[in-house]
Amino acid sequence: MNTDTPTNTNGKMNLWDLLRNILPFVLPYRWLICVTLVLTLVGSLMAQVNAVVLDRAVDAINALIQQPGGFSWNQAARILTVISIILLSKEVIGAVVTFFQRYYGERMRILVSRDLSLRVVERILSFRMAFFTSEGNETGKLQSRIDRGIMSLSNTVNNFFIEILPLFTSAVLALALMFMANVYVGLVALCIVPIYFWVTNIQATRMKGGRRSIFSGHQAVSQGILNILESITVIKSFNREKIEADRQAGIQISMTDTQLNTRRQSYFFNGLKSFLEQIGTVLIIILTAYLVLIDYPGMSIGKIMYHVMLFANVSAPIRQLHRIYDDMNDALIYAEGFFGILKADGEVEASGGHRPSQVQGDFELSGVDFTYSNGTQALFDVSMHIPSGKITALVGLSGAGKSTIVNLLDKFYQPQHGSIRLDGVELAQWDTQWLRDNVGLVLQKNHIFDGSIEENIRYGNPAATREEVEHAARQAYLYDQVVQLPQGFQTSALQLSGGQQQRVAIARMFLKNPPIIFLDEPTASLDAIATEQIKASIDAIKAGRTVIIISHNIGQIIDADQIYVLQQGRVVQSGTPDEVYRQGGVYKEIFDASARSMNADKIASTLTEQ
Give residue 237's pLDDT: 66
Q: What is the pLDDT, as a whole number, of residue 8?
A: 43
Confidence of residue 6 (pLDDT cuts 50, 70, 90): very low
pLDDT recorded at residue 71: 62
Please, what is the average pLDDT of the chain? 81
Domains and CATH numbers, the chain: 15-347 (1.20.1560.10), 362-437+548-600 (3.40.50.300)
- Three-class DSSP category at 462: coil
Q: 463: which DSSP letter?
A: T
- For residues 395 and 532, the model is more confident at 395
Indicate the helix (H) or strand (E) that contains 518.
strand 516-520
Answer yes or no: is pLDDT of 301 > 50.
Answer: yes
Beta strands 516-520; 546-550: pairing state: parallel
For residue 385, what pLDDT is reported?
A: 94
Does the pLDDT at position 5 exceed 50? no
- How many whole angstroms separate alpha carbon 450 and alpha carbon 223? 22
The predicted pLDDT at position 370 comes to 93
Q: Taking the CA atoms of 80, 86, 91 and 92 in sequence, report the sign of the dihedral they define.
A: positive
In three-state secondary structure terms, 601 is: helix
Average pLDDT, integer, range 410-438: 90
Distances from the Cα of 259 to the Cα of 156, 210, 218, 314, angstroms: 21, 7, 11, 31
pLDDT of residue 350: 64
Q: Can you give the pTM of this predicted structure? A: 0.65
Does 527 have pLDDT greater than 50?
A: yes
Whole-number pLDDT of residue 383 = 95
Count of alpha carbons within 13 Å of 349, Cβ hemisphere only?
25
CA distance 382 to 566: 9
Instruction: Determine what percent of the chain is predicted with pLDDT higher than 90.
Output: 13
217-226, 350-359, 449-458, 586-595 — which one is most confidently predicted on average? Answer: 449-458
- All residues at 6 or more sequence positions from 276 whose CB lies less than 8 Å from its CB, including other chains: 192, 195, 196, 199, 318
| C-alpha–C-alpha distance, residues 588 and 575, integer Å | 13
The pLDDT value recorded for residue 187 is 87
pLDDT at residue 604, rounded to an integer: 56
pLDDT at 7 over 50: no
Cα–Cα distance between 508 and 457 in angstroms, integer?
Answer: 5
Q: Is the pLDDT of residue 31 over 70?
A: yes
If pLDDT is split at 50, 70 and 90, which confidence band does 571 have? very high
Q: Which residues, listed in sequence order, are joined to residue 555 by a DSSP beta bridge?
A: none
Mean pLDDT of 533-547: 76
Given a contact cutoff of 8 angstroms between Cβ atoms, the answer to whether 219 and 139 are in contact is no
| pLDDT average, residue stretch 442-459 | 83
Q: What is the mean pLDDT of residues 197-224?
A: 73
Task: Return the percentage of the chain with pLDDT > 70, whole number.
Answer: 89
* 254-272: pLDDT as tens digits: 888 888 887 788 778 877 8
AA letter at 317: P
- Whether residue 392 has pLDDT greater than 60: yes
Sheet architecture: strand order including 377-386 = 377-386, 363-371, 417-422, 425-426
Lowest-confidence range among 1-5, 114-118, 432-436? 1-5
Average pLDDT rounded to a whole number, residues 557-564: 88
Residue 405 scores a pLDDT above 90: yes
Q: Provide the pLDDT for residue 83.
A: 81
Q: 81-100: per-residue pLDDT in tens?
A: 888 888 888 888 888 888 88
Higher-pLDDT residue of 32 and 226 is: 32
Please tell me the predicted confidence (pLDDT) of residue 524.
67
pLDDT, one tens digit per residue, over 57-82 is 777 777 776 766 666 777 778 878 88
Q: Which of 29-38, 296-305, 457-466, 543-552 is modeled with the greatest confidence?
A: 457-466
Note the pLDDT tens digit of each residue in 481-501. 899 998 999 998 888 887 788
3-state secondary structure of 371: strand
Confidence of residue 600 (pLDDT cuts 50, 70, 90): low
Q: Tens digits of per-residue pLDDT, 122-151? A: 888 887 777 777 766 777 778 878 888 888
Determine the Cα–Cα distance for residues 16 and 6; give it in Å rounded to an integer.
11
Decide if pLDDT at 363 tops 60: yes
Strand partners, 518: 441, 548
